[in-house]
C-alpha cells in the first residue's frame, strides 16, 4: 500500500487521524488528549501551531525530506462553517 512518508498534523486532539498513519509524523496541538495507540514514528508537540512553526528546528524530525501530506484541522486555519440557522445575518455571506 502506498502512502505518504512524512506527515505534519496540526490539531491532533485525540489522535484519530494519526491512528492509521505509519508515516514519519509530527503532531502539533496545544491541548491534545491522545487516547488511542499511535504506531508511527511520531514527534508529538504540545504547542500552538504558530509558536511551533516559528521554531528553527520545527521540522527536523523529517531530516530535511519534504512533506508528502499535511493535515490541518479547520479550527487552526480560521475556517468558518456555514450558518445553519435560517435567521443568519446577511453579513455572514460574501458581498458581491
What confidence tens digit (pLDDT) does each residue in 13-56 have?
A: 999 989 999 999 999 999 999 999 999 999 999 999 999 999 99
Q: 28: burial class by Cβ within 10 Å (0-12, 13-18, 19+)?
A: buried
Least confident residue range of 23-27, 37-41, 58-62, 69-73: 69-73
What phi and psi, each to the nearest 5 degrees, are found at residue 24? -65, 120
CB distance 2 to 22 below 8 Å: no
DSSP type of residue 58: T
* CA-based nearest residue to 49, from 72, 17, 18: 72
Amino acid at each position: 500500500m502506498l502512502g505518504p512518508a512524512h506527515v505534519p498534523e496540526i490539531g491532533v486532539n485525540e489522535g484519530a487521524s494519526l491512528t492509521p498513519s505509519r508515516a514519519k509524523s509530527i503532531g502539533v496541538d496545544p491541548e491534545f488528549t491522545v487516547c488511542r495507540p499511535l504506531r508511527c514514528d511520531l514527534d508529538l508537540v504540545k504547542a500552538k501551531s504558530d509558536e511551533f512553526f516559528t521554531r528553527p528546528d520545527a521540522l527536523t524530525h523529517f531530516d530535511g525530506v519534504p512533506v508528502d501530506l499535511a493535515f490541518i484541522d479547520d479550527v487552526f486555519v480560521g475556517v468558518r462553517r456555514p450558518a445553519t440557522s435560517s435567521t443568519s445575518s446577511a453579513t455572514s455571506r460574501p458581498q458581491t
